[in-house]
Amino acid sequence: MFWFLQRIAISLALLWVVTSLVFLSIYMVPGDPAELLLSGDGATPDPASIAQLRADLGLDQPILAQYAERMAGLARFDLGNSMVDGSAVSAEIAKRLPRTLELVAAAAVLSLLIGIPAGVIAGLKQGGRFDRMANFLAGFAQGIPVFVAGTIIILLFAQIWKLTPAGGFVAFTADPGKHIVLLAMPAFAIALGLAAIVFRIARASVLDVLPLDYVRTARAKGLPQGRIVARHVLRNALMPVITVFALNLGGLFGGTVLVEYVFNWPGLSGMLVSAVNSRDYPSVTAVILVISALFITLNLVVDILYGVTDPRVRK
Amino acid sequence: MKRSLRLIWPALLLLIAVICLAAPVLNLSDPLKMSMGQRFAAPSYAFPLGQDEMGRDILSRLIFGMRISLFIALSTAILSGIIGTALGIFGGYMRGFSEIITLRAMDVVLCFPPLLLAMLAVTLYGPGPMTLIPVLSAVFVPGFTRIAYSSVLTVRSQDYVEAVRAMGASNGHIMLKTILPNIMGPILVQVSFVTAAAVVLESGLSFLGLGVVPPAPSLGLMIGTGGAAIAHQPMLLLWPCLALVAMILVLNGVCDLLRDWLDPRNAARGA
């Protein structure tokens, strides 16, 4: 029990440090941050708008007061207002966050669906034609940046074969089929890298399990191959796969940023990219905070699941 | 892959490096020179890969783009390598308070997905190589620190370290002259890994228009604009994609090779 509480406490502490760091980041720039944020294209901003922005961002208050206000705001899920149109950032995030989560979840499932069967088949027929080809493809998939994979998918499916639109978003309730097609393309682009990792681990893990005694016993009992693989090999080979999968899950959030942009998927990242471009500081920090919080929560959940499944971790 | 065949990776890397280094004297046409009359021109003798949406030489832009990418990535790897290794050795050798501070600080950096940390910095400092190198370095410091730290833990209690200490060497001397050379293997592997990862990250940022500033050539930037011109001329997109993927695959290949040679953890497993 103490171990679990300790894990949760560490995550909360990390969350607090991250929030404070993001809060402080605006003070880490030399000069007046308000002036800096406004001087986008080399033009000198006029003093009135600088004063206005300083007041809007609360930069004219003492730093401790700003910090207290910021933290109190976070407790109310108030993430500040956009510098572009003054709307509440939290409302925009609430609208976009589920779409990003949907994309990440779809990518995670896809990577398992591709990686595990491929890894098991390759492991069972080590050195065979499938094994060699899959290994080659995995090396390739790991080397391709997500945005290149995304652009190539658009080039092939939308431009050359004209099978799909070049990206976008349709609500599931409006048109389920189209929603899934539009989801599948970016999800696949993100999943590729992780699928390659899952494949490698699954293959290696199957190779580790195959020569073990209980597999030989199962063979000797005369069990059919399918049953040996499903009952004896797969079950024992899956644990390392799940471990590595969980460790890499957080990385998917980084992948969504580029892929959402490529496919015009209206999730958090599209908001982030346009916010960075217009130097909309409150929106940028809010999105980064939300994603970092998700990242930390995900790692906490993975940690706790480990603790539950393997008590040795908890010492 | 056969052992001798794998030597192709360092050979290819050398080739890329030489081309990038020699780019200014290779008699390439100016990668920034536009000629609007020849937009999307097909390959010709003067322009072997054709011309882009502003009539610029694609081949020349590819080579100069790789040059900038490699420069940023290598600078990042070296800078983060020096800082991260120093922190890791310091924390691992001194233990106690400095150990807690360095490791916890790294945990905080690791809470941000790398791309997001870079984007936060770009919002504040504006895009460009002089922002990119420090920011990307900050992203990769924790990796070095952790590797240096864990290597130091195994090295610090070895007899030869004890012997040097018994001879009256100072802590600084031990860390720099005794421990550092003995943990160099894993650090070098990490340098090659970070170089590849920095190329990916830099191209991603440039692709979003947040990295290398136009009109300077950059592979990520070219993929971004090539994607916009996809209907006109798909090759505009495919060339930089190929160059980028080739560069990453070569760097990954070198990284794997170094890992097999230098990392004691693999040698022990006989991998």
Question: What residue type is assigned to position A242 of the chain?
Answer: I
Contact of A146 with A190, CB cutoff 8 Å: yes
Give B266's pLDDT tier (boundaries 50, 70, 90): low
Closest-CA residue of A relative to B122 is A276
Say if the Cβ atoms of A148 and B120 lie within 8 Å.
Answer: no
Cis peptide before A33, with omega less than 30 degrees from 0? Answer: no
Mutate to test the interface with A, among B120, B125, B146 (most CBs of A within 10 A): B120
Q: Enumerate the residues of chain B whose CB falls inside 8 A of the CB of residue A146.
A: 204
- The C-alpha atoms of residue A245 and residue A235 are separated, in whole angstroms, by 16
Q: Is A168 left (phi over 0), alpha (psi -120 to 50) or beta?
A: left
- Report the pLDDT value the prediction gives residue B3, as an integer from 0 to 100: 67
C-beta neighbour count of B223 within 10 angstroms: 28
Say if the Cβ atoms of A276 and B119 lie within 8 Å.
Answer: yes
| Contact A284/B at CB under 8 A | yes
Residue A44 tokens, joined: 């000198």
- The C-alpha atoms of residue A113 and residue A122 are separated, in whole angstroms, by 14
Averaged pLDDT for residues B26-43: 71
- Report the pLDDT value the prediction gives residue A98, as an integer from 0 to 100: 92
- Report the pLDDT value the prediction gives residue A120, as an integer from 0 to 100: 92
Say if the Cβ atoms of B248 and A284 lie within 8 Å.
Answer: no
Averaged pLDDT for residues B181-209: 91
pLDDT tens string for chain A (315 positions)? 788 898 899 889 888 888 888 888 877 776 677 777 776 555 667 777 778 777 777 777 777 888 888 788 887 777 778 877 778 888 889 999 999 999 999 999 999 999 999 999 999 988 889 999 999 899 888 888 999 999 989 888 888 888 888 777 888 888 888 888 899 999 999 999 899 999 999 999 999 988 889 889 988 998 888 888 888 888 888 888 888 888 788 778 877 888 998 898 888 887 888 888 887 888 888 888 888 888 888 888 888 887 777 777 676
- B113 sits in which H/E element: none
| Contact B171/A at CB under 8 A | no
| Contact A181/B at CB under 8 A | no
Q: Which of B252 and A305 is assigned the larger pLDDT?
A: B252
- Report the pLDDT value the prediction gives residue B191, as an integer from 0 to 100: 93
* A81 phi and psi angles, rounded to 5 deg: -115, 150
Q: Enumerate the residues of chain B whose CB falls inside 8 A of the CB of residue A291.
A: 113, 116
For Cα atoms A187, A192, A198, give the angle at the middle one, nearest 5 degrees: 115
- A61 sits in which H/E element: none
Say if the Cβ atoms of B112 and A36 lie within 8 Å.
Answer: no
- Report the pLDDT value the prediction gives residue A41, as an integer from 0 to 100: 55
What is the residue whose two structure tokens read 């999307």? B40
What is the residue whose two structure tokens read 């590849």? B196
Residue A131 tokens, joined: 């094994």
Q: What does DSSP assign to residue A43? A: P
| Contact A197/B at CB under 8 A | no
- B68 sits in which H/E element: helix B58-94
Say if the Cβ atoms of A276 and B116 lie within 8 Å.
Answer: no
- The C-alpha atoms of residue A14 and residue A20 are separated, in whole angstroms, by 10
Give B142's pLDDT tier (boundaries 50, 70, 90): very high
* Model pLDDT for residues B72-115, shown as the tens digit of each residue: 999 999 999 999 999 999 998 888 888 888 888 888 888 788 88
- Interfacial A residues in 79-118 facing B (CB < 8 Å): none
What is the residue whose two structure tokens read 């346009």? A274
- Report the pLDDT value the prediction gives residue B1, as an integer from 0 to 100: 54
| Contact A242/B at CB under 8 A | no
| Contact B237/A at CB under 8 A | yes
Give B269's pLDDT tier (boundaries 50, 70, 90): very low
- Report the pLDDT value the prediction gives residue A40, as an integer from 0 to 100: 58
Quote the percentage of chain B above a pLDDT of 90. 28
Give B217's pLDDT tier (boundaries 50, 70, 90): confident
Question: What residue type is assigned to position B246 of the chain?
Answer: A
Q: Enumerate the residues of chain A whose CB falls inside 8 A of the CB of residue B223.
A: 147-148, 151
Say if the Cβ atoms of A273 and B200 lie within 8 Å.
Answer: no
| pTM to 2 decimal places | 0.85
Statement: residue B179 has pLDDT above 70: yes
Would you list the DSSP string of A227-294? HIIIIIIIHHHHHHHHHHHHHHHTHHHHHHHHHHHHHT--SHHHHHHHHHHTT-HHHHHHHHHHHHHH
Contact of B114 with A255, CB cutoff 8 Å: no
- The C-alpha atoms of residue A72 and residue A64 are separated, in whole angstroms, by 12
Torsion of CA A225, A229, A231, A235, to 10 degrees: 170
CATH class of A90-313: mainly alpha
Closest-CA residue of B relative to A140 is B249
From B200's Cα to the closest Cα of chain A, the distance in A is: 6
The ipTM (two decimal places) reads: 0.82
Partners of residue A81 on adjacent β-strands? A88
Averaged pLDDT for residues B227-232: 75
C-alpha closest to that of A107 among A183, A177, A169, A166:
A183
| Contact B136/A at CB under 8 A | no
| Contact A9/B at CB under 8 A | no
| Contact A266/B at CB under 8 A | no
Q: Which of B52 and A271 is assigned the larger pLDDT?
A: A271
Which numeric CATH code is attached to B59-264?
Answer: 1.10.3720.10
Residues 6+ apart with CB under 8 A from B238: A155, B226
Query: Which sequence spans correspond to the domains of chain A?
Result: 12-78, 90-313
Residues 6+ apart with CB under 8 A from A138: A196, A199, A200
- The C-alpha atoms of residue A270 and residue A268 are separated, in whole angstroms, by 6
Say if the Cβ atoms of B234 and A143 lie within 8 Å.
Answer: no
